[in-house]
Amino acid sequence: MTSRREFLSRIAAVGGFGAAYTSMRALGMTGDTDPAAPLRLPRAEKKTRVVILGAGMAGLVSAYELREAGYEVTVLEARERVGGRNWSVRRGTRVTMTDGSEQTCQFNEGEYFNAGPARLPSHHETMLGYCRKFGVALETEVNQSRSAFMRSDRVQGGKPFRIRQAMADTRGHMSELLTKAINRRRLDDQLGADDRERMVEFLRLYGDLNKQNEYRGSERAGYQTLPGAFDRKGVAVPPLSMHELLDADLWIAIMFDEFIDWQATMLQPVGGMDHIPKAFESRLGEIIKRQREIVQIRQGEKSVKVTWRHPGSGKTGTIEADYAVCTLPFNILAGIDTDFAEPVKAALGRVRYDHSLKVAFEAPRFWEEQHIYGGISYVKSDTGLIWYPSHGFHSPTGIVLGAYSNGEAAVRMGELPVNARIAAAREAIEHVHPGCSESLTHGINVTWAQVPYSLGPWVKPWEGGEGNNEPEDYTLLNQPAGRVYFASANLSQMPGWQEGAALSAHRALGLIAQRAAENPLNSPLPVESRTS
């Protein structure tokens, strides 16, 4: 029997920590609340300077909102680009990783793949609000296609089968079993006579049972012979047995869009997810200082000083501000010379990050010839899944992901050379689409644990226990360290999502605004708030 923890681990392996966290919310395993109301910062009553460390989504949101409220803002970013984990890889993009590998994207002009976040749920109102405000054009992201495939070595000798078949056959077998239990009076203590009859009637419809209340297959599962003109009737595929479905152990494929963060309608920016950080960038302009690697943070009673270094020239500089908003990954921040209090330093040093990687190819759209328009195929291997593009239908080529690997599977793949990761993704596509791997070109890999200034995609759960992070550290890092405020999706109830980054930034800015209002003369810090 699969435990809840094992089930969540499998979800995380396919969809990452964000997927697992959504499942935890659905199972009542978290104590989260509704998203915060739209941010309305009061105007700064005097000149107040804020330095923001990092131009990822939390940093960009912080900079925009503070400047709108009249604060004097500077953003220091180590990279040449903004967006952090929001990164769309295009022709000419250089992917340099800490294992010494270097790749240059060779996609055709106009093609791209989102190496980080790739979808926007329709209820992520903060990020969608910024898209609306900035005029970022959106389109539908097809998160699930029932024409896509599942594949396991344990089912049909490894022959792939459609998701629609897995869904229809699972419902059919379960409906038959439940109907038998009702008719054998096994549920009389739960159902009255009228309810028994109504339930059986519902199960016949839900599971597409025959008059004998048996499941013998369904056209919902797809056709082995398509219906046609005149007397050509459709012939449904023969059903998979319940034993085979249980053996496949790929429940995430048929439950994926049951969880609220993956329910239709999902959205994506037209032309790439990076159009969101670019919209912030165009409004912030020169206050973003690129190639400013943070090397030291020092605090006094009335200010915070941040020293940076240019990663190319080695040039250094210092900026002084009233407050700092730090959005750097915790594992990066832990290696920086700071004067934070020892409990804060210890917490930063303990934070553990998860693993995630993607491999993308450019190819003729062979999947569309197999009736797949967007969505995901699931494979029982370390590559995790095959993800098809949701735009450009019937164009000559498109970008298909041959791997989106998370957790321990990503650790194993990350230990391989880059060309072996790409080869594994190619092989996964070949297993699901025989004969099509030869058309895959321009393979490229992003492994987040090896991306400089990231060193991981998101943190492991804050639930304590072996391999996880401690809830006490989550609470501590959600508080200011003197004049430094932390903001990150990892410090929200929506880790791994851009929405979480924006809401965490909003919370940090609210705390700064409250403090600035309570200390209009920028008085010294209370003794208990001073850093060591």
Q: Do residues 329 and 478 both lie within one domain?
A: yes
**In a domain? residue 29:** no
Q: Does 156 map to a domain?
A: no
Among 420, 450, 480, residue at a domain's last position:
450
Q: In angstroms, rounded to a whole number, what is the distance separating the alpha carbons of residues 170 and 352?
A: 37
Q: Which amino acid, one-letter code, is at 271?
A: G
Number of residues that make up the chain = 532
Beta strand 49-53 pairing with 266-269: unpaired
pLDDT at residue number 1 = 46
Q: Which two tokens mark 377? A: 């195929």
| Helix (H) or strand (E) segment spanning residue 514 | helix 498-518
Is 390 in the same domain as 440? yes
Contact 19, 376 (CB under 8 A): no
DSSP codes of every residue in 342-384:
HHHHHHHHH--B--EEEEEEEEE-TTGGGT--SEEEEESSTT-
pLDDT at 213: 97
Task: Give dist(CA 51, CA 323) in Å, integer.
Answer: 7
Q: What is the pLDDT of residue 208?
A: 98
Are residue 467 and residue 417 in the same domain, yes or no?
no
Please say whether the beta carbons of 261 and 130 come within 8 A.
no
Inside any domain, residue 15: no
For residue range 292-306, what is the model confidence (pLDDT) as tens digits? 999 999 999 999 999
Q: Could you tell me which residues come within 8 angstroms of residue 84 by beta carbon, excluding any fewer than 6 positions away?
A: 54, 55, 56, 57, 58, 59, 116, 277, 327, 454
Among 384, 417, 450, which residue terminates a domain? 450
128 and 170 share one domain = no
* Cα gap 68→86, rounded to integer Å: 23
**End position of a domain, from candidates 450, 481, 504:** 450
Q: Do 288 and 402 belong to one domain? A: no
Domain containing residue 70: CATH number: 3.50.50.60
- In this structure, are 182 and 235 located in the same domain? yes
Strands (E), 143-281: 149-151, 161-162, 223-225, 235-236, 266-269
* Residues 360 and 389 placed together within one structural domain of the fold: yes
Residue 30 belongs to some domain of the structure: no
d(CA 252, CA 7): 9
199 in a domain, yes or no?
yes
Q: Which helix (H) or strand (E) holds 11?
A: helix 4-26
End-to-end C-alpha distance for the chain, whole angstroms: 51
The number of folded domains in the chain is 3
CATH code of residue 371 = 3.90.660.10
Burial environment of residue 275 by CB neighbours within 10 A (0 to 12, 13 to 18, 19 or more): buried
Burial class (CB in 10 A: 0-12, 13-18, 19+), 208: buried
Same domain, 119 and 218: no
The count of C-alpha atoms lying within 13 angstroms of the C-alpha of 255, restricted to the half-sphere facing its C-beta, is 17
Same domain, 444 and 360: yes
Range 77-81 contact pairs with CB under 8 angstroms and sequence separation of 24 or more: 77/288, 77/289, 77/290, 77/291, 77/292, 78/54, 78/291, 78/292, 78/293, 78/294, 78/311, 78/452, 78/453, 79/55, 79/290, 79/291, 79/452, 79/453, 80/290, 80/291, 81/290
Classify burial at 101, counting beta carbons within 10 Å of its beta carbon; exposed 0-12, middle 13-18, buried 19 or more: middle
In terms of residue numbers, what domain contains 233?
Answer: 163-248
Question: Which tokens go with 356?
Answer: 């995630």
* Chain segment 101-120, per-residue pLDDT in tens: 999 999 999 999 999 999 99
Same domain? 422 vs 412: yes
Token representation of residue 175: 């409906």
pTM, two decimal places: 0.90
**b/e string for 30-64 if b means 16 or more Cβ within 10 A?**
eeeeebeeebebeebeeebbbbbbbbbbbbbbbbb
Q: Quickly list H helices, 142-192.
A: 163-183
CB contact set of 114 (below 8 Å; sequence gap of 6+): 86, 87, 88, 89, 268, 272, 273, 274
Same domain, 269 and 369: yes
Asked if residue 12 belongs to a domain, the reply is: no
Q: Is residue 96 part of a domain?
A: yes
Instruction: Calculate the alpha carbon distances from 366 to 172, 374, 430, 432 in Å.
Output: 31, 12, 12, 12
Q: In this structure, is residue 305 part of a structural domain?
A: yes
* Low-confidence stretches of the chain (pLDDT beneath 70): 1-38, 520-532
Residues 371 and 268 in one domain: yes
